[in-house]
Amino acid sequence: MPTKKSDLQKLTKLGKKASASRTLEVFPNHEPGKIEVTLRCTEFTCICPLTKQPDFATIEIVYRPNKFVVESKSMKLYLETFRTVGVFHEHLAVDIGKDFVKFVKPLTVDVTVHFNVRGGIAIDAKYHYDQDEEPFDPRKLFA
């Protein structure tokens, strides 16, 4: 099914000069639950919250859209907002994942941040969301 004009109506960033913002735009999914989408950003940058040194990473987002698909330019602009943000790698995976769920409302999403080696260690952190899973409760580990 081709893209319809109505699919484009709410998009404000695509095809226009837009500044980075911590929001994501979506368009209608014609086949909810029937596709899987992978987004890969190989030029991600943020900074260490303590030393302020730059950190470089590849960000991979794999999701199954429900009613909406994320518009890729808004995703690019969203990721650019982290360039001057001091954030631990593990926190970044969670922040991106929660924002993605908030704006896109997917059936499932996995956000993996693959950080380049620094100090001899490369860090990968993964956030997982599945709308059908019970949220993780760490208190149950010690009950």
**Ordered domains of the chain (ranges, CATH):** 25-133 (3.30.1130.10)
pTM score: 0.83
Residue 16: per-residue pLDDT: 62
- Tell me the residue type at 2: P
Q: Is the pLDDT of residue 14 over 70?
A: no
Could you confirm whether 95 is annotated as catalytic? no
Q: Is the pLDDT of residue 139 over 80?
A: no
- pLDDT tens figures, 39-92: 999 999 999 999 999 999 999 999 999 999 999 999 999 999 999 999 999 999
Greater pLDDT, 64 or 143: 64
Whole-angstrom distance, CA of residue 41 vs CA of residue 20: 15
Which residues does 114 contact at the CB level (< 8 Å), separation at least 6? 57, 58, 59, 60, 122, 124
Name the active-site residue from 7, 48, 99, 124: 48
Q: Is the pLDDT of residue 35 over 70?
A: yes
Nearest to 60 by CA among 27, 92, 103, 29: 92
Name the active-site residue from 41, 46, 55, 95: 55
Nearest to 64 by CA among 22, 34, 39, 87: 34
For 57, the 3-state DSSP assignment is: strand
Could you confirm whether 7 is annotated as catalytic? no
Q: What is the mean pLDDT of the segment spanning 127-142? A: 82
Number of other residues whose CB lies within 10 A of the CB of residue 31: 9
Residue 17: per-residue pLDDT: 66
